[in-house]
Copies of this chain bind each other. A is one copy, B any other.
Amino acid sequence: MKRSPENDAAAADAFVEDVEISGHIIDSLILPKVLDCISAAGGTFRIKTISIGQARNDASYGLVEVRAESSEQLADILGTIADHGAIPTVKQDCHLIAADMNGAFPEGFYSTTNQRTEIRMRGEWMDVAAQEMDCGVVVDESVPAAGCVPMSEIRAGQQVVVGHAGVRVFPHQRETRGDSFEFMSSGISTEKPKAPQIRQIAQEFVRARRESGKTLVVGGPAIVHTGSGDHFCELIRGGYVNYLFAGNALATHDIEQSIYGTSLGVYLDRGDIADSGHEHHLRAINRIRRAGGIQQAVDSGVLTSGIMYECVRHGTDYLLAGSIRDDGPLPEVITDVLEAQRLMREKTRDVTFCLMIATALHSIAVGNLLPAWVKVVCVDINPSTVIKLSDRGSFQTVGMITDVEPFLRALVDQVRQLESD
């Protein structure tokens, strides 16, 4: 970023650059955000041109002159507003530097968002593949191709984008009100009508199956503890769940309830505590380890019901990621967290809809990986899980504060009803 040459004469001591923004820039609050960023960072702006779309879906266009007091300040401002889609009118190619070591970026690397991004090479804009926040952009000039790569997977010699020049971001824009998800973005109140929300989630499940989308469910053990495993099994049997991401706990307590009828030692049908019930989950894990794994336990008849059983039987691709609170763990659990991230990253490539249920850890992990255009609903009885998700940048997530068991019960009802319509 340097002084904009056309302003040079007029303002010898000014650092100026024209940027343009297009899309639903007023409706989506993008323009206000951009102007706010400029002022907040100590810069000033002048709106040179503005044309505002007449209908909700018409695009608008703004041309804004940004003025700063130093070239560093100008670069800072341009970097910040670039993430909201404001890009300099004077186009440059992106800057590349070769990584000097494995597992780390060069200083000044461009840090990705989860929004659709393009880089400019040899005067052409090209898509960045595998969009994911908090990565770098690695370019293979021979193809040419660009993609997001996490820090730990950088290898020395790879060409890494540095700075904001030649990078443009397309902020995910609000969908029109007709769209089913729009209204849900309005926060985390518990005092809202629940039926329309549940109906919309059911529609996403049905639509994904009909239109060959891929649905990912990220779930915590409360699905089992609250006695809603059966509801979830029905979704799996119906072919609505393409991927299940969970931890050792969900699978363990699911298997516990299959073998002993309890979850965390509590009988799911009666609600009372079993004698020595606290040992059940450990005995369940032990039995699966003795069998060699979940798949083997299903094959050999050790495991005959439950979520994991249905996953095996109906081909739901499940991934169990390890955590330091795991007992056992089950043989399928991936105990290395980087390896688990790698596999999650691979599987999420084609996900079109993601439902997160009652797990902060796994939800935040998956939220980090998904691009902004994948619809995500996070259901938890604890508002703090949803608040944390959005604090950490998964802005596209819509939260629903409700109880797992009755939620899943109503969801299955709705899906059934939609299918019979």
Contacts and interface: CB of A to CB of B under 8 A. Distances in A.
Contact of A275 (B77, B267, B388): B77
Contacts of A193: 225-227, 263, 266-269, 271, 405
A272 B35 CA distance: 17
A312 interface: no
A384 B387 contact: no
A189 B391 contact: yes
A35 B52 CA distance: 11
Most chain B CB inside 10 Å of its own CB: which residue of A221, A324, A368, A401: A324
Nearest to A80: B275
Contact of A194 (B83, B290, B406): B406
B391 A264 contact: yes
Nearest to A381: B190
Contacts of A335: 336-338
A190 B382 CA distance: 9
A11 to B, nearest CB: 15
Contact of A337 (B29, B55, B276, B326): B326
A184 B273 CA distance: 11
A5 B101 CA distance: 73
A80 B196 contact: no
Contact of A271 (B196, B290, B384, B401): B196
Given A35-B27, A54-B45, A190 B384 contact: yes
A31 to B, nearest CB: 6
**Protomer copies:** 4
A36 interface: yes
Interface residues of A, number: 119
Interface string A226-261: 111000000000000000000000000000000000
B283 A111 contact: yes
A44 interface: yes
A358 to B, nearest CB: 8
Nearest to A324: B365
Given A103-B289, A407-B406, A76 B276 contact: yes
A152 to B, nearest CB: 7
A207 interface: no
A41 B56 CA distance: 12
Interface in A20-39: 26-29, 31-32, 35-37, 39
Contacts of A107: 283, 286-287, 290
B41 A52 contact: no
A134 B278 CA distance: 9
A361 interface: yes
A177 B272 contact: yes
Contact of A189 (B56, B183, B387): B387
Contacts of A361: 323-325, 361
A151 interface: yes
Interface in A105-119: 105, 107, 109, 111
Given A47-B54, A111-B276, 20 more contacts: A26-B35, A46-B54, A104-B289, A109-B283, A111-B282, A152-B328, A183-B273, A187-B387, A190-B226, A191-B264, A191-B388, A193-B267, A193-B268, A194-B226, A196-B268, A264-B391, A326-B341, A335-B336, A402-B405, A406-B406
25 contacts: A27-B32, A27-B36, A47-B54, A76-B276, A79-B275, A79-B276, A107-B290, A183-B272, A183-B273, A186-B273, A190-B226, A190-B382, A191-B264, A191-B388, A193-B268, A194-B405, A195-B268, A323-B337, A324-B365, A325-B364, A335-B338, A337-B337, A384-B384, A402-B403, A406-B410
